[in-house]
Amino acid sequence: MTDLAFRGDVVPLRKPAPEPSEFGAAMLAGLDRANKWVSAKFFYDTAGSQLFDRITELPEYYPTRTEMGLLQTHVQEIARLIGPDATLIEFGAGSSRKVALLLDALERPRAYEPVDISGEYLHEVAKKLRETRPALAVHPIVADFTKPFALPGGDARRIGFFPGSTIGNFDRADALAFLRRAARMLKGGGLLIGVDLVKDPARLHAAYNDAAGVTEAFNKNLLVRANRELEADFDLDAFAHYAFYNPSMRRIEMHLVSLTTQCVSLCGRRIFFAEGETIHTESSYKYTVEGFAALAEEAGFVSRKVWCDAGGLFSVHWLEAGA
């Protein structure tokens, strides 16, 4: 009881402002900067994950089907390089099709340990795999793999699987930090990783500006999510999807452009947007084969084998993490 209440004054019942969620804190911090920026990891609520699944099926979005083709063509060789009795750790439980292909080709895989921030999604993936492969030990790990996290102990030889060129969504420093942590975690094993390649800018541009507008909806879903979760009032028609290839940075940049001068409420704060000001919502870095292999070696891996499609669109790297 406060002193004021003790004296019999009428004290307005003011609830303390709730702590913003991780998403809320990131939006407030990112939109407070001169160059507004929000991490792409916040795209992936349930609706965002469904929109991303649709992106992977688009005619313009070549990475998913090209990587799947590479895995299908080379899976026997990949399985030989990985060897028997491996524990497979997938960073970000994504497409179960890719991991199923790999698990089916491996000799006596010991366990599958998918790591994902979304516990609900992860347990769904685990349930499906247990149904179709009752002999396989499945240990889901709920963690943000962009930060350090613990793996269950044991003497297993660990093989990391990081498909989809998700590494492209990290800037260089974060990519190197992730690869360094992975090289330590996978000591004695290795990492199989999919990496999108530098190519004709027009091809890249089309992949992030699809005719059906699914990538636009994926980008704007960040604002939909903020309106739902953060008491925000973004007007979706007052922002435009803008994605382009920045050749000097070798990255696609995705932005949301404010079409007018406006103020938006978010977590009880007002945020000012000048006309033409943007929120940078995603970078998707593209690598050369040599450039990525050099980055992996700098992180402590040995680059053993790289598979590319005939069109030079996408690469899959097998990196060994020395004992």
Q: Site residues (CB under 6 A) for ligand AVI?
A: 55, 63, 164-166, 168-169, 208, 215, 218, 282, 284
Cβ proximity to ligand AVI: between 55 and 319 the closer is 55
Residue 212 near residue 58 (C-beta atoms within 8 A)? yes
Cβ proximity to ligand AVI: between 146 and 165 the closer is 165
Cβ proximity to ligand AVI: between 40 and 86 the closer is 40
The nearest distance, CB 216 to ligand AVI, in angstroms, is 10
Cβ proximity to ligand AVI: between 207 and 267 the closer is 207
Q: How far, in Å, CA of 133 to CA of 109, rounded?
A: 11
Cβ proximity to ligand AVI: between 146 and 166 the closer is 166
The nearest distance, CB 128 to ligand AVI, in angstroms, is 21
Q: At what angle do helices 22-31 and 214-229 cross, to 10 degrees?
A: 110
The nearest distance, CB 143 to ligand AVI, in angstroms, is 18
Q: What string of DSSP letters covers 249-318?
A: TTEEEEEEEESS-EEEEETTEEEEE-TT-EEEEEEEE-B-HHHHHHHHHHTT-EEEEEEE-TTS-EEEEE
User: Which residue's C-beta sits nearest to ligand AVI?
Assistant: 284
Paired tokens of 64: 């998913």
309 — phi, psi (to 5°)?
-80, 165
Which residue do the tokens 């079409």 mark?
A: 259
The nearest distance, CB 1 to ligand AVI, in angstroms, is 53
The nearest distance, CB 63 to ligand AVI, in angstroms, is 6
The nearest distance, CB 94 to ligand AVI, in angstroms, is 8
What amino acid is encoded at 147 in this protein? Answer: K
The nearest distance, CB 165 to ligand AVI, in angstroms, is 5
Residue of 195, 182, 151, 146 lying closest to 301 (CA atoms): 182
The nearest distance, CB 78 to ligand AVI, in angstroms, is 20
96 — phi, psi (to 5°)?
-70, -20
Cα dihedral sign, 294-78-164-156: negative
Classify strands 314-320 and 302-308 as parallel, antiparallel or unpaired.
antiparallel
Cβ proximity to ligand AVI: between 165 and 221 the closer is 165
Residue of 301, 194, 98 lying closest to 112 (CA atoms): 98
Cβ proximity to ligand AVI: between 106 and 279 the closer is 279
Stated length of the chain? 323
Cβ proximity to ligand AVI: between 158 and 286 the closer is 286
Cβ proximity to ligand AVI: between 106 and 145 the closer is 145
What is the SS3 assignment for 161?
strand
Angle, vertex CA 96, rays to CA 93 and CA 99, nearest 5? 85
The nearest distance, CB 68 to ligand AVI, in angstroms, is 14
